[in-house]
């Protein structure tokens, strides 16, 4: 059985920064030949960080965008679909009614994992553990 993962933005950032746990987990995933995906929201968040970090230097920004796009291409990028929007709305309503809100970006990432039956790889367990039916893997 092929393992199937959806990686949160924090994992991508940690992997690129050379975090030992993230690198070790990435190697394990590669050895398992597991399915690797990210939400389009994680792609947005990661690219936003690149723009914020290098916006004053257009040449450096261009270089870093090429690097970032190369890093993101390691993953299947799952788009935001109607089915994910519907699951996101359900999760958002449930969390809001229970007074446990989290960011819309995290809700969409979680909904993507649930809709596609993927295990979410993250260190942000505090937020994501509020969502029922979400399978979480930390590294």
Q: Give the range of the structural domain holding residue 99, as residue numbers without chain letter.
A: 4-137
List pLDDT tens digits, range 17-53.
Answer: 999 999 999 999 999 999 999 999 999 999 999 999 9
Sequence-ordered list of residues with C-beta below 8 angstroms from that of 93, at least 6 positions apart, any chain: none
55: CATH: 3.40.50.1010
- Counted domains in the chain: 1
Q: What is the CA radius of gyration of the chain?
A: 15
Sequence-ordered list of residues with C-beta below 8 angstroms from that of 89, at least 6 positions apart, any chain: none
Output the pTM of the full model.
0.93
Residue by residue, pLDDT tens for the chain (139 residues) are 889 999 999 999 999 999 999 999 999 999 999 999 999 999 999 999 999 999 999 999 999 999 999 999 999 999 999 999 999 999 999 999 999 999 999 999 999 999 999 999 999 999 899 999 999 999 9
> Contact at 8 Å (CB) between 122 and 128?
yes
User: For 110, which DSSP code?
Assistant: H
| Helix and strand numbers, DSSP H then E, in the chain | 7, 5
Predicted pLDDT of residue 1:
82
């Amino acid at each position: 059985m092929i393992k199937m993962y959806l990686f949160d933005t924090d994992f991508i950032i940690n992997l690129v920064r050379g975090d030992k746990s993230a690198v070790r987990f990435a190697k394990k995933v590669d050895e398992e030949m597991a399915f690797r995906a990210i939400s389009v929201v994680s792609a947005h968040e990661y690219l936003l960080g690149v723009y914020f970090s290098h916006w004053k230097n257009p040449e450096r920004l261009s270089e870093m965008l090429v690097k970032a796009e190369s890093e993101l291409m390691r993953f299947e990028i799952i788009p935001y679909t109607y089915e994910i929007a519907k699951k996101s709305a359900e999760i958002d309503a449930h969390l809001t009614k229970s007074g446990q809100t989290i960011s819309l970006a995290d809700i969409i990432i979680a909904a993507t994992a649930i809709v596609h039956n993927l295990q979410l790889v993250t260190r942000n367990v505090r937020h994501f553990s509020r969502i029922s039916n979400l399978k979480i893997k930390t590294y």
